[in-house]
Structure 1
Amino acid sequence: MSSNERIIQTILATWVKFALPSFFLFLPFFIYGDAIGRYLVPISFLLLFFPVIQNKWKILIISFSLFVLLSDLAARSNIIKFIVPFIFSVLYYFRLFLSVKFFELIRLLLCLLPICLFYTGITGIFNVFKIDEYIGEEFTTTSIEVGEKVEQNLKVDTRTFLYIEVLSSALKNDYYWFGRTPARGNESASFGSIALEELKTGKMERFSNEVSILNIFTWTGVIGVVLYFFIFYHSSYLAINKSNNFIIKIIGLCVTFRWAYAWVEDFSLFDLSNIFLWIMIGMCYSVRFRAMSDNDITIWIRGVFDKRYHFIPKIDYDKSVRNNAPLY
C-alpha cells in the first residue's frame, strides 16, 4: 500500500480535506498537550515536501507546525519530530551543492549513532539521557496533563530506568536472543502493578514502553532488533543511492532519523506516527517513487492539495536509470 503513489496521495488528500478542518472541532474538548502533535503527524510528513509545495499551503503547514511547537514545550518528542523534517527539507534548496556522498555520510551517522550511545551508556562512559549531569542550568516549562497545568523539567531522565528494567528482565528470563513475542512484556517494578492488580494477569509486566526499540527487543530479541535495523538501513540506502529525485533522498534521511529516535521514544502503537513511518519506508522501497524526477514528485505532492494536479506522472524507467544508478 505505501509503495502505491495513488493510494498515498488519496490518503493525504482525504486527511487534508476532512481531518485537518475537524482539528478545530476537537481541539476545545479532546485534544491537548502532546495529543496535538499526534493528531497533526501528517503535517510533519508534508514538511518533507515543503520546498515544492505551493506558497499558500506552505503558510498553512508552517502555521500548524508552529502551533504544535508552541502549544506544549514539554512535549519534547513532538517538537523534535516536527523540527527535524523541516531541517531536512531545507536541504532541497542546496541540492545543486550536495552530493550523494554527503547524504550517505549523514545516513550512516544516524544509523550508527544510537548503537554507539547505547554502548557508552551501558559501559558508564556517557549517558545521553542524564543530560542534567552535564548541563547545570535549569530548563522547565508548564504543560497540561488531564486538564491541569503541571511544571516539568525538560532535562529530566525518563529513559534510563526503562532500559535497566527491560535489559534486566531479558537477562533474568533468558529471552534476549529471540524475545518473548508481543504476547508478553518485560518485568517492571515501576509499571507492572497495573497488569498484576488491575488486569489480573498474575505477572508484574509492562506490555509496551515509550521507547520503540525496547519493545522490539522484548518481543523479538537481539535477532529481531538486527532485522528491524536492516529494514531501515536498506530502505534508506535505496532512497539515497538509487533514487532519481531529491525529495526521496530527504525522506531516506528522515527514515534513518526515525531509526535513531526509536532508541529515545517512538510508541509501538497503531497510530498516525507509525503509519506515516511505514509510508516513508514504503516510498523508499518503491521503484516508482524512486524513478520519479523532481518535477514528477512536485506534481504528485501538489495533487494532495489541488485536483488539477491529481494525477500520477508517467514514469520513464529507462530515462531514470540512465540519469541515476539502477533502481534495483
Structure 2
Amino acid sequence: MFRIITLMNTVNKQIVSQAIPVTILPITVYSVVVFIKRGVPLSSLMNNTTIWWGISFVILGFFFFSKYSFFDKRNERNMRIVWVYLLWNAICIVRGMFVAEIYWDWKALIGNTMALMLPIAAYAATNKIIVQSLLAFYVKYALPLFLLFAVILRTDAYGFYLAPVSFLLLFLPVLSKRQKVILLGLTAVVFVADLGARSNVIKFGVPVLILAVYYARRVVTLKLLETVRLALLIIPIILFVLGVSGTFNIFDTDSYIKGDYTATGTDMQGNKVEENVMADTRTFLYKEVLGSAIENNYWLFGRTPARGNDSDSFGVWAFEVTGRYERIENEIGLANVFTWTGLIGVILYSILFFRASYFAVNKSKNIYAKMLGIYVAFRWLYAWVEDVNNFSLNYFMLMVMIGLCFSHSFRHMTDKEVVFWVRGIFDNRYIRFQNNLIKKRKNYER
C-alpha cells in the first residue's frame, strides 16, 4: 500500500512538473488576445471568456498542487505573508458571493478571482529549477511565436507579450553575444513600436538602468542598495499623502514641466495617433476610486472583487452594459487592490513587496538577486501608477520574481552558479551540466 501511494505521488509530481512550464504559453496568449487587430480570422474564438476561464482555472490548479511537490520548506517562514495575502483575498472572494446580484457581478467575481489567486505561483517560483524550466519553455516556444503575433497585435501590446524579457535583462552581462542581441533587439522593438505605451517603455527601461549596479558592484555597498530599496518603497506613500492633501501632485506635470512632449501611440481601435506623453491620466482615477470608497464606506474591507468603483468618467459606458455607473477594473494596480480588498488588502500587498525585496537585497549571496530586489521594489512604486493585477503574463512574472526573492536556493547561489542557471534558460547543455553538479553534490553529502 505504501509503495502504491509513493508511486502515485511520484506520477503526480511528474505530471505537474511537465505541465507547469507549458502554462506560460497560454498565459502569454491570454495576455494579448484583447489586443488582436480587428478582422483577424478566429479572433473572436481566441477571445472567448469561458474558454479562458477554464484554462486559467486549470493553470491555477497546477500551481496549487506544485506547492506540495516543489515548494522548498526552507522558505515556509518567509512565505507566510503570501499565504496571509491569499487567505484575505479568498475571504474577499467569498464575501463577493454574497454581494453579487446580477450577471455582471458574477462575471467580474470569476474573472477577478483568477487574478487575486495568481500569487499562488510565487510558491512554485521559490524553486529555481521550476522558474528555469518556465522561462526555457517561453524562450523555446512563445518567443518565436512573437513573429506571428507581432503582425496581428496592436503595437502597444508588444510589451505585454514580451514581459519575461524585462526580467531577463537583469542577467544581460552573463549571456552570450547572440542572446544579448536577441534581448536588446526585442527591447528596442518595444521602445520603437509604440512610444505612446509609456508603461512598457518604463518597465523595460528600468532593468537596463539597474544593470549599473552590476557594473559598479565593486563600489556599490549593501547600505546604498538598501537605501535605494527603502526609497522606492516609501516615496509613493509620501507622494500619495502630498497629493491627497493638495500640497503637490506628481501627476500634474503641467505645473512643473513646461513644453509639449508628444509621441506616436495607438488608440483603442488600433489607429496611430499623436499622444501627449506628459498628460495626467491618473489624478481623476484616484479621485474616483477614493471618493467611491468613502461614499460607500468600503475603504477598510473593500467592495469585494464582484464590484468596482463608482465612476463618472467611464460610468456612462458601463451603465449601458451593466446598468451600474461602476468601473470593474482600473489601470492602476493598487487601486484595484484597494477597491476589491480594502485598506487591509493594500497593507498586506505592501508587506509582500517589502519582505520580498528585503530578502533579495539583504539576504542574498549573488548580485543578481540584489538587482532583482531593487526591481521588485520599483514594481511596488509602479503599482501606484499602473501594473494592473489581472490574470496576465505581466502580473504572473511579477509573482515569479517575488517568489525568487523569497527563494533560499536562488538567493544562496554564487554569481558563477547564477551564470549557469540563466544560461540554462537558453541552452540545455547548461541544464545538463547543472544537474550533474547537483548529483555530485548530493553524493558528496551522502
Matched, 1:54 2:170: no
1:220 pairs with 341, 359, 372, which one?
341
**What whole-Å deviation, never above 9, does each CA across 1:170-193 have from its counterpart, x for those lacking one?**
000111111111111111111223
Unaligned runs of 5+ in 1: 317-328
Aligned-partner residue type, residue 181 of structure 2: I
1:251 offset after TM fit, Å?
Answer: 0.4
Q: Given that residues 210 and 268 in structure 1 are in contact (C-alpha distance below 8 angstroms), is that contact kept between their aligned partners in structure 2?
A: no
- How do 1:112-131 residues align onto structure 2 when only pairs under 5 Å count? 112-131=234-253
SS at match of 1:265: coil
**What whole-Å deviation, never above 9, does each CA across 1:68-122 have from its counterpart, x for those lacking one?**
1111111100000001011112311111111111110000000001001101111
Q: Given that residues 232 and 259 in structure 1 are in contact (C-alpha distance below 8 angstroms), is that contact kept between their aligned partners in structure 2?
A: yes
1:314 offset after TM fit, Å?
Answer: 4.0
1:189 pairs with 306, 312, 319, which one?
312
Match of 1:208 in 2: 329
Q: Given that residues 360 and 411 in structure 2 are in contact (C-alpha distance below 8 angstroms), is that contact kept between their aligned partners in structure 1?
A: yes
Match of 1:319 in 2: none
Unaligned runs of 5+ in 2: 1-123, 442-446
Q: Given that residues 255 and 280 in structure 1 are in contact (C-alpha distance below 8 angstroms), is that contact kept between their aligned partners in structure 2?
A: yes
Q: Given that residues 156 and 265 in structure 2 are in contact (C-alpha distance below 8 angstroms), is that contact kept between their aligned partners in structure 1?
A: no
2:376 pairs with 239, 255, 261, which one?
255
**What whole-Å deviation, never above 9, does each CA across 1:275-313 have from its counterpart, x for those lacking one?**
110011000101111111111111100000111101356
How well do the aligned residues superpose, as a CA RMSD in angstroms? Answer: 1.6
**What whole-Å deviation, never above 9, does each CA across 1:189-227 have from its counterpart, x for those lacking one?**
1122344221x3x32111110000111111111111111
Match of 1:4 in 2: 127
Q: Given that residues 208 and 268 in structure 1 are in contact (C-alpha distance below 8 angstroms), is that contact kept between their aligned partners in structure 2?
A: no
1:33 pairs with 155, 163, 185, which one?
155
Match of 1:134 in 2: 256
Higher helix share: 2
SS at match of 1:157: coil
1:243 pairs with 340, 361, 364, which one?
364
Q: TM-score, normalised by structure 2?
A: 0.68
Matched, 1:298 2:400: no
Q: Given that residues 43 and 61 in structure 1 are in contact (C-alpha distance below 8 angstroms), is that contact kept between their aligned partners in structure 2?
A: yes
Q: State the distance in 1 between where 2:350 and 2:271 align.
A: 39
Q: State the distance in 1 between where 2:127 and 2:337 align.
A: 27
Q: State the distance in 2 between where 1:268 and 1:205 align.
A: 18
How many matched pairs?
Answer: 314
SS at match of 2:369: helix
- How do 1:280-299 residues align onto structure 2 when only pairs under 5 Å count? 280-299=401-420
Aligned-partner residue type, residue 133 of structure 1: S
SS at match of 1:17: helix
Q: Once the two structures are aligned, what percentage of the paired residues are identical?
A: 48
Match of 2:186 in 1: 64
Q: State the distance in 1 between where 2:211 and 2:175 align.
A: 11
Q: Given that residues 51 and 90 in structure 1 are in contact (C-alpha distance below 8 angstroms), is that contact kept between their aligned partners in structure 2?
A: no
Q: Given that residues 164 and 397 in structure 2 are in contact (C-alpha distance below 8 angstroms), is that contact kept between their aligned partners in structure 1?
A: yes
**Which protein is bigger by CA-based radius of gyration?**
2
Aligned-partner residue type, residue 65 of structure 1: T
